[in-house]
Amino acid sequence: MAIALVTGANRGIGRETARQLVERGYDVLLTARDEAKAAAAAEEVGARPLELDVSDPASIARAAAAVGDDPGRLDVLVNNAGVGTDWGTAGVAPDFAAMQAALDTNFFGAYRLTVALLPLLRESEHPRVVNVSSGMGGIAEMGGWSPGYRVSKAALNAMTRILSTELADAGVLVNSACPGFVNTDMGSQFGAKKPVEDGAAGIVWLATLPDDGPTGGFFRDGKPIAF
């Protein structure tokens, strides 16, 4: 059975991604920064719980060691955990502490975790990494406001390009996904209507790509979008 790990999966798009991967027959490590929330969500969707705060390097090291012990393998990593720390803040008057907090989770967290799990992913026959990004991080259509969130997702997209290039020969497919404007705790405060099932579907598609699938791309609902 293929093994998948999803971050920030106690609620929202992460939990739904974990649920859909279980439905497809994956053995899913459902991770959350709160141990009890990980356990509750894992029970709901039929996954295994694991405590993981991606903004804490020690927590990443502990989680990577735990995965290395049991199940001792990893095929799919979904870097989903994300925070919006400076919604509506103007780029001309940035809150650098909030920007740092967005980077710590959305960029450094995903990057550190991916590197920590790379030895296991390299041993997989069909390794996949999905970075849950946002159209707000696309440089081609970059607009104003929320600079911390935007820069963190642009940096995450850069990581997708860097690692997909370096890991192409190893067969690791690394892609970014924008879930769209999804009705979760994050999206609903701005009136998002897209059902969470639909937002997660494009992530699950990238997590379950065939070996000749794309790498180094940025997709929404299975279609390429501009970086």
Ligand X SMILES: NC(=O)c1ccc[n+]([C@@H]2O[C@H](COP(=O)([O-])OP(=O)(O)OC[C@H]3O[C@@H](n4cnc5c(N)ncnc54)[C@H](OP(=O)(O)O)[C@@H]3O)[C@@H](O)[C@H]2O)c1
Give yes or no: 149 in active site. yes
* Contact indicator for 102, 150 with CB cutoff of 8 Å: no
Query: Helix, strand, coil proportions of the chain in percent (round to 5)?
Result: 45, 15, 40
β-sheet with 223-224: strand ranges across? 48-51, 27-32, 3-6, 76-79, 128-132, 173-178, 218-220, 223-224
The yes or no reply on residue 53 touching ligand X (CB under 6 A) is: yes
3 binds ligand X (CB under 6 A): no
- Residue at token pair 């639909």: 198
- For residue 54, state whether it binds ligand X (rule: CB under 6 A): yes
Amino acid at position 124, single letter: S
Asked whether the beta carbons of 9 and 83 are under 8 A apart, the reply is no
User: Of 64-72, 93-101, 162-170, 175-183, which segment contacts ligand X by CB under 6 A?
Assistant: 175-183
Give 2 or 38: the residue with its C-beta nearer to ligand X.
38
Site string for ligand X, 188-207 (x = CB under 6 A): ----x---------------
Number of residues that bind ligand X (CB under 6 A): 31
- From residue 58, how far is each of 20, 65, 94, 109, 170 by CA, in Å? 29, 11, 29, 11, 27
Q: Which of 26, 108, 149, 219 is catalytic?
A: 149
Q: Which of 69, 70, 169, 185 binds ligand X (CB under 6 A)?
A: 185
> Considering only 22-30, 79-87, 112-120, 213-221, which stretch makes contact with ligand X by CB under 6 A?
79-87
Which two structure tokens, joined as six digits, stand for 216?
């180094």
Min separation Cβ 182 and ligand X, Å: 4
Site map (CB under 6 A) of ligand X, residues 32-51, x = contact: xxx-----------------
3-state secondary structure of 177: strand
Contact flag: residue 141 with ligand X (CB under 6 A): no
Contact residues: ligand X, CB under 6 A: 7-8, 10-14, 32-34, 52-55, 80-83, 105, 109, 132, 134, 178-179, 181-182, 184-187, 192
Residues catalogued as catalytic: 149
